[in-house]
Chains A and B, each alone.
Chain A
Amino acid sequence: MKLLLVEDQAELSTSIKNYFLAEGDICEVASTFKKASEKLYAYDYDLLLLDITLPDGNGLKLLEEAKQERPEMGVIIISAKNALDDKLRGLELGADDYLPKPFHLAELNARCKAIYRRRKENGQKFLYFNEITINLETREVLVGEKTLDLTRKEYDLVHYIIVNQKRLLTKQAIAEHLWGDYMDTADSFDFVYQHIKNVRKKMLEAGGKDYIKTVYGVGYKLQQEE
């Protein structure tokens, strides 16, 4: 996956860039409207990560231009403004998603992967981790040949963990992914714990292994088989 990140905050763009590089994606950074415009003109990207408050222009204008040139490119707006107007305007102009700052990099990663898959014509229909298979179309999780009977949130949880399989996922990042901003962190941790417990149980019952490693007090990480 080839991304263009348009972000004027160097500290943030470095973190995002490194994160995607570690995922095996290509991520280029443009810090101004002008640079972004040049890059978009010259190269093809699968996905545009766009901050709409740029020092030399409005990101929405850039979005409009980019969408005219390359309608097939996915776009996620990342903005610190979290203004409803911008969000609606952005989605109207063809953005696929709107992610308010601050966000978890794991969340950004999951959303990018989802959009990339949706946009690609022969996009991936399955995600794999050892003997676990996720059917993205039917929203099913299989352990070997066996389909797990998961609730909606449990599916989201498994999917999130497997998309971010190389990462440590904090309870907070998981809670926000499952429930958005609705939940106050402290209370949702219990719910995350219980969901994880149920998922583990269901996987073990289906004959799978327990790959979800608890990092005490922090979160969870998918453990590769040694």
Chain B
Amino acid sequence: MNLIARISLLFILVSLVVFSIGGVISYHILMGEVQAEQKRFLIERLDRVTNRIERFQPRDTIRWSKMVSYPMADYQQEQYTFSDTLVMHAQLDRMEPHLKLDAIRNIGGKSYRTVLYDVIIEEDDIKDGIVESLITMYLILLGAIAIIGVGASYFILRPFNLTLAEIRNFSLRDPSQQTSFPRSSVTEFKKLNVFLKAMTDKVRSDYRSLKEFSENASHEFQTPIAIVQSKLEVLMDDPDLSEIHLEQLGAMQNAVRRLSSLSSSLALLTRIENKEFSNVASLDVSKRIVGLLDEFSELMDLKQINLQKSIQDNLVLKVDQTLIELLFTNLINNAIRHNFKEGTIKVLLTDDEFKISNTGKPLEIPASGLFERFKKSNQSSRSMGLGLAIVKKICDLYHFQPKYSVEEEVHTVQIIFYPSKESI
């Protein structure tokens, strides 16, 4: 429900309550006025009766319409009592509440009791009148709210909607994009736009410096590493070196290499996080997986691994080719590396998931931690423990769901392409 509809609904509910209370109040005020008027009217009639009695001094009971007056036997105190009574209404032919005045007046030394009753407006009529007029007003109000609602959401909220559209189009990857928010004369929108402008500019500049940092860090690390590596290589070609020296140089070279791939893997993680791999296109994943398995087939042969594959044809995903290949490469690579000699690898690709399982040693750490950086089952192993972290990061980017499970000596990684919302 949008904002205007919500406010309108609230307004309608509140005004319904106000109208109801207002109706009750109007009824009471109106009834009060009518009562007072009625009393005045009865008193006036009483005065007329009094005049007549003064003039004619009757001994008997006088009966007029809606009036009875008679002299009383003994002298009494003057007194006026108003009360409600039900009387048969002549035209309406039903009992109607009337106002009754029971008065004792002393006229010419004698007490006369006069009882008068009458009704100017019936209570029902007042009630009906109030209800009818209030309902009419309420309907008019509803109409007005509807018109204002439509108008407001179009005219007043227009700058807001334009701002929303601008935010929706906001992209960090496009450095040339300039975010410009529409001008508005509404203070709140003005504030919002100023705030958003400052925020998007800040995000953009932070992103830029982060990107520069990750690029520079990688660059600055790799250059000295490249120098060390080239010097080592030149050194190792020296024919005078003994095997002991060579072995030590070889160890240095391996360490340097690890340093370099560590730095580039971390830079890669940052790049995925920064969404720098935005070259997204529809890609036949089935073909890529078959191709990759083929590339790795020699390695599997060397380890005498038995590959069982069931690859669904023509599975197309909208992904960046470099990243998706990295994802599958890491998984296939892991399945080979952590496998036994003469072990088994099973690869399954369906429309919804990619599943790769391999035989291998049981885990030494809980499976849940495997997708974290630098987590590896065997801490002494020389692998860096970034492979699955990269897999996880790529999955996050495309909203895939990676799952790791181990049963007996079979490890399985499952990538669900379209996870349902509940399972995330």
Within the complex, what minimum Cβ distance (angstroms) separates B259 from chain A? 9
A43 at the binding interface (Cβ < 8 Å): no
In contact, B230 and A218 (Cβ under 8 angstroms): no
Cα A171 to Cα B250 with chains together (Å): 9
Cα A195 to Cα B254 with chains together (Å): 20
In contact, A153 and B246 (Cβ under 8 angstroms): no
In contact, A82 and B230 (Cβ under 8 angstroms): no
In contact, A101 and B223 (Cβ under 8 angstroms): yes
Cα A104 to Cα B228 with chains together (Å): 11
B62 at the binding interface (Cβ < 8 Å): no
In contact, A185 and B258 (Cβ under 8 angstroms): yes
In contact, B230 and A215 (Cβ under 8 angstroms): no
B interface list, Cβ under 8 A from A:
215, 218-220, 222-223, 225-231, 233-234, 236-237, 243, 246-247, 249-250, 253-254, 256-258, 260-261, 264, 267, 276-277, 279, 298-299, 302, 322, 329, 333, 337, 381-384
Cα A182 to Cα B222 with chains together (Å): 18
Q: Of all chain A residues, which has the CB nearest B325?
A: A182
Within the complex, what minimum Cβ distance (angstroms) separates B121 from chain A? 88
In contact, A216 and B243 (Cβ under 8 angstroms): yes
Most buried by B among A153, A166, A167: A153
| Residues of the A chain whose Cβ atoms lie less than 8 Å from the Cβ of B228 | 102
Within the complex, what minimum Cβ distance (angstroms) separates A77 from chain B? 14
Q: Top 7 nearest A-B pairs by Cβ distance?
A: A102-B226, A186-B382, A15-B230, A218-B250, A80-B222, A101-B226, A217-B247
Q: Of all chain B residues, which has the CB nearest A217?
A: B247
Interface string of A159-182 (1 = CB under 8 A from B): 000000011101111000001011
In contact, A168 and B237 (Cβ under 8 angstroms): yes
| Residues of the B chain whose Cβ atoms lie less than 8 Å from the Cβ of A104 | 229, 233
Q: Of all chain A residues, which has the CB nearest B301?
A: A151
- Between A and B, 29 residue pairs with Cβ closer than 8 Å are A9-B226, A9-B227, A11-B230, A12-B226, A12-B227, A12-B230, A53-B219, A81-B215, A82-B267, A83-B215, A84-B322, A101-B222, A102-B226, A102-B228, A102-B256, A102-B260, A103-B229, A105-B230, A105-B233, A172-B253, A184-B337, A186-B382, A186-B383, A187-B382, A194-B302, A215-B246, A216-B247, A218-B247, A218-B250
Using known A-B contacts A84-B277, A182-B333, A184-B383, determine if residue A168 contacts B246 with beta carbons closer than 8 Å. Answer: yes
Extra pairs beyond A101-B225, A170-B233 (7, CB < 8 Å) = A9-B223, A9-B226, A82-B267, A84-B279, A106-B233, A184-B333, A185-B382
In contact, A217 and B250 (Cβ under 8 angstroms): yes
| Residues of the B chain whose Cβ atoms lie less than 8 Å from the Cβ of A185 | 254, 257-258, 382
